[in-house]
Homo-oligomer: A and B are copies of this chain.
Amino acid sequence: MCRWMAWFGQPLRIDELLFKTQHGIVDQSLHARMGAEPTNGDGFGVGWYGTGDGPTVYRSVSPAWSDDNLRELAGSIESPLYLAHLRAAIGSPVQQTNCHPFRHGEWLFVHNGYVGGFRKMRRALMFAIDSDLFADVQGSTDTEAIFYLAITLGLRDDPIGALELTVGLIEATAKRFGVPDAVQGTFGVSDGTSLWATRYATDGRPRSLYASEDVEAIQRLYPDDPRYQRFTPNDRVIVSEPVSDLPGVWNEIPEATAVTVRPGGVLEQRPFRPRVPASALAGEHNA
């Protein structure tokens, strides 16, 4: 169980969402309300665009609440597009290479959830990763394997489509291994120009996911809140769990749904429908 959030809009200092918001994500590191566990203390990461060539990633094995460097950086770095993630490890070691966001080239990737029976299927899934990408896998999480499978299956051309194929591949593999609940969770992806997020579970209810409402609607709801008056129609936030208690600000993203946030705050929504990749059907990935 993890927590993540993404900002896309006007350049915003990172601490605005991480620290300054009521029930912000760093507060969630100690007191998550919607997760399976209230504590998300097994490391964290922030990835942002706009200050270097490609995204910059800061990851640490400290709990977010006690990392002085995070406070420093969040207070001085401003970005139009950033993702933050708090980790609650389930099995794999607490180490920097297991912290999200994962990065490949321009791409950042975060995940809240798990692959059921990952230990059993790890070899089969790792083997399905493009052989040229294999050596780039640095850690041992299910999430990083998912990320490299998605790249293998076309993430760079069609992020949602590639995630549908990836989930389909994992579900087919799980069937082969007799694993019941193959994929659980929400994913966040960006290449610095758009932001994609999905919410899905093979079985049962997926992890929660919310998008901020249209800013004009929020400003009408809270005309006296200076925080919301500063926001513009270009700004969107995607979060595992609402970062404030104000009603009307957050829209739950439905189950089995993907959203795309494009520049200008445009939010598109479509169903998320896993499909087994043809290559897997052909047994290519059965090793």
A208 to B186 Cα, complex, angstroms? 41
Interface residues of A in 4-62 (CB under 8 A from B): 13, 30, 37-39, 41-42, 51-53, 56-62
Q: Are B131 and A123 in contact (CB under 8 A)?
A: yes
**Residues A76 and B63 in contact in the complex (CB < 8 Å), given A95-B97, A135-B119:** no
Kindly specify which of A66-74, A215-223, A259-267 makes contact with the partner chain: A66-74
Q: Are B69 and A52 in contact (CB under 8 A)?
A: no
A57 to B69 Cα, complex, angstroms? 7
Residues of B with C-beta under 8 A to A78 = 51
A62 to B120 Cα, complex, angstroms? 28
Interface residues of A in 97-153 (CB under 8 A from B): 97, 119-120, 122-123, 126-127, 131, 134-135, 137-140
Q: Are A89 and B66 in contact (CB under 8 A)?
A: yes
How many subunits of this chain does the assembly comprise?
4
Q: Are B38 and A66 in contact (CB under 8 A)?
A: no
Is A180 an interface position by the 8 A CB rule? no
**Residues A69 and B58 in contact in the complex (CB < 8 Å), given A38-B38, A122-B135:** yes
Residues of B with C-beta under 8 A to A139 = 140
Q: Are B76 and A56 in contact (CB under 8 A)?
A: yes
Is A197 an interface position by the 8 A CB rule? no
- A interface size (C-beta, 8 A): 48
Is A77 an interface position by the 8 A CB rule? yes
A119 to B135 Cα, complex, angstroms? 6
Is A248 an interface position by the 8 A CB rule? no
Partner of A51, one of B56, B77, B89, B122: B77
Is A178 an interface position by the 8 A CB rule? no
Q: Are A73 and B58 in contact (CB under 8 A)?
A: yes
Residues of B with C-beta under 8 A to A52 = 13, 72, 75-77
A158 to chain B, nearest CB (A): 25
Q: Are B63 and A41 in contact (CB under 8 A)?
A: yes
Residues of B with C-beta under 8 A to A95 = 93, 95-97
A146 to chain B, nearest CB (A): 16
Residues of B with C-beta under 8 A to A56 = 72-73, 75-76
A98 to B260 Cα, complex, angstroms? 38
Q: Are B41 and A41 in contact (CB under 8 A)?
A: yes
Q: In the complex, given contacts A51-B78, A119-B135, what are 12 additional A-B residue pairs having Cβ atoms less than 8 angstroms apart?
A: A30-B37, A30-B39, A56-B72, A57-B72, A59-B68, A61-B62, A97-B140, A122-B135, A123-B127, A123-B131, A127-B287, A137-B140
